[in-house]
């Protein structure tokens, strides 16, 4: 079963910069991606980021850019229907894949995900760029589901990236070269922003623009892991925009596309859906 976005979901994405999509993929994918999470926690890739390796708590773990070697993630991005959902949200005739991102907060992980936009972390420019964050476990806003500043995708701001595990985060040293203004301290002044958060079940997705400010609290549950896989999608107007301080997983030497051009490089950014 590969569902379509409803008209209401498309309109919410356009106005709010985020849409909750219940039962976004078949539950088989949740089981398969949870198995991938277990394997990556045990044997992280070179792109992982682990705040407390092997720790019983305060383990804020991410791993990314696994799709080329990991057959399960490769199948997920091609067969789950995520590409179509992303394209429909972006109102794009096509969806190219950028990268996959596992995001795990083990029980008793206090650290929040800092408020940020995604676009400044990436070597792309364009409005039709989004993420599909698929919940692999149920989670409430209290226990680290995502929150968004509604409508912030339309503000025309480009905030400097923030390391998820704070300034001591060695795996994010590439961000030091980034430029851009600092994201406002939304947590300190929540009442000044139109914040919307979503309690989700496993298999629900949050699709959001790369320009929408978002963050998450810690996972205060002492029993339940919070896990998600975020997939990153490029629509019709996305262009390659390499510059200092962006994610080093894909750099100019890895691609055939020139700066300012659409990322039509099938090997690195495969087109996985077309209307
Ligand atoms: O899962 C999280 O805590 C953060 C997710 C996120 O920022 C993203 O997918 O862009």
pLDDT of 171 above 70 = no
Q: Which atom of ligand 1 approaches the CA of 214 most closely?
A: 7
* pLDDT average, residue stretch 220-224: 94
Quick: pLDDT tens for 59-88: 999 999 999 999 999 999 999 999 999 999
Sign of the alpha-carbon torsion through 40, 43, 48, 49: positive
Residue 141 confidence (pLDDT): 98
* Alpha carbon separation from 170 to 137, 164, 167, 174 (Å, rounded): 28, 11, 8, 9
Q: pLDDT band at residue 164, thresholds of 50, 70 and 90?
A: confident
Q: pLDDT band at residue 189, thresholds of 50, 70 and 90?
A: very high
Quick: pLDDT tens for 140-161: 999 999 999 999 999 999 999 9
In the structure encoding, which two tokens stand for residue 61, read together?
A: 């773990």
* pLDDT average, residue stretch 174-202: 93
Does the Cβ of 216 fall within 6 Å of ligand 1? Answer: yes
Does the Cβ of 98 fall within 6 Å of ligand 1? Answer: no
* pLDDT average, residue stretch 259-265: 97
Query: Distance between CA atoms of 165 and 49, rounded to whole angstroms?
Result: 8
Quick: pLDDT tens for 84-123: 999 999 999 999 999 999 999 999 999 999 999 999 999 9
How many other C-beta atoms are found inside a 10 Å radius of the C-beta of residue 112?
A: 17
Pocket mutation for ligand 1, best pick of 65, 101, 212, 227 (most atoms within 8 Å of C-beta): 101
Query: Distance between CA atoms of 121 and 256, rounded to whole angstroms?
Result: 21
Ligand 1: distance of its center to the CA of 114 in Å? Answer: 9
Q: For the chain, how long is the longest CA-to-CA vector?
A: 48
How many other C-beta atoms are found inside a 10 Å radius of the C-beta of residue 188?
A: 7
Q: Domains, the chain, ranges and CATH?
A: 7-274 (2.60.120.620)
pLDDT of 132 above 80 = yes
Identify the three-state secondary structure at position 20. Answer: strand
DSSP state of 263: -
* Alpha carbon separation from 196 to 119, 139, 144, 176 (Å, rounded): 20, 15, 13, 30
Pocket mutation for ligand 1, best pick of 228, 229, 247 (most atoms within 8 Å of C-beta): 228
Average pLDDT over the chain, rounded to whole? 95
Residue with the nearest Cα to atom 7 of ligand 1? 215
Beta strand 195-197 with 226-234: parallel, antiparallel or unpaired? unpaired
Residue 53 confidence (pLDDT): 86
Q: pLDDT band at residue 173, thresholds of 50, 70 and 90?
A: confident
pLDDT of 169 above 70 = no
CB 83 within 8 A of CB 272: yes
* Alpha carbon separation from 200 to 20, 129, 203, 241, 275 (Å, rounded): 9, 23, 8, 34, 29
CB 138 within 8 A of CB 242: no
Does the Cβ of 118 fall within 6 Å of ligand 1? Answer: yes
Residue with the nearest Cα to atom 9 of ligand 1? 230
CB 120 within 8 A of CB 207: no
Does the Cβ of 109 fall within 6 Å of ligand 1? Answer: no
Does the Cβ of 49 fall within 6 Å of ligand 1? Answer: no
Helix (H), strand (E) at residue 130: strand 129-135
Q: pLDDT band at residue 168, thresholds of 50, 70 and 90?
A: low
Query: Distance between CA atoms of 43 and 16, rounded to whole angstroms?
Result: 38
Does the Cβ of 206 fall within 6 Å of ligand 1? Answer: no
pLDDT > 90: percent of the chain: 89
Residue with tokens 């300012």: 260
Query: Distance between CA atoms of 179 and 111, rounded to whole angstroms?
Result: 25
Pocket mutation for ligand 1, best pick of 37, 114, 131 (most atoms within 8 Å of C-beta): 131
DSSP 230-244: EEEEE-TT-EE---T
pLDDT > 70: percent of the chain: 97
Does the Cβ of 111 fall within 6 Å of ligand 1? Answer: no
Query: Distance between CA atoms of 30 and 153, rounded to whole angstroms?
Result: 28
Q: pLDDT band at residue 163, thresholds of 50, 70 and 90?
A: confident
* pLDDT average, residue stretch 209-238: 97
Query: Distance between CA atoms of 125 and 142, rounded to whole angstroms?
Result: 33
Ligand 1: distance of its center to the CA of 122 in Å? Answer: 14
Residue 177 confidence (pLDDT): 83
């Amino acid at each position: 079963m590969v569902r379509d976005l409803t008209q209401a979901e498309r309109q919410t994405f356009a106005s709010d910069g985020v849409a909750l999509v219940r039962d976004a993929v078949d539950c088989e994918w949740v089981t398969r991606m949870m198995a991938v999470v277990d394997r990556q926690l045990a044997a992280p890739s070179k792109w992982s980021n682990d705040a407390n390796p092997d720790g019983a708590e305060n383990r804020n773990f991410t791993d990314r850019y696994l799709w080329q070697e990991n057959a399960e993630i490769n199948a997920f991005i091609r067969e789950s229907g995520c590409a179509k959902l992303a394209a429909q949200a972006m109102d794009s005739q096509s969806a190219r894949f950028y990268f996959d991102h596992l995001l795990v907060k083990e029980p008793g992980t206090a650290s929040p995900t800092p408020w940020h936009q995604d676009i400044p972390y990436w070597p792309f420019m364009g409005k039709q760029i989004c993420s599909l964050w698929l919940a692999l476990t149920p989670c409430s806003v209290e226990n680290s589901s995502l929150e968004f500043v509604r409508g912030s995708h339309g503000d025309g701001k480009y905030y400097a990236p923030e390391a998820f595990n704070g300034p001591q985060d060695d795996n994010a040293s590439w961000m030091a070269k980034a430029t851009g203004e600092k994201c406002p301290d939304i947590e300190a002044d929540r009442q000044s922003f139109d914040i919307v958060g979503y309690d989700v079940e496993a298999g629900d997705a949050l699709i959001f623009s790369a320009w929408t400010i978002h963050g998450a609290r810690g996972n205060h549950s002492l029993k339940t892991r919070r896990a998600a896989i975020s997939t990153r999608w490029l629509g019709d107007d996305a262009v390659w925009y390499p510059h200092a301080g962006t994610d080093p997983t894909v750099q100019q030497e890895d691609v055939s596309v020139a700066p300012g051009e659409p990322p039509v490089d099938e090997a690195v950014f495969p087109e996985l859906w077309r209307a």
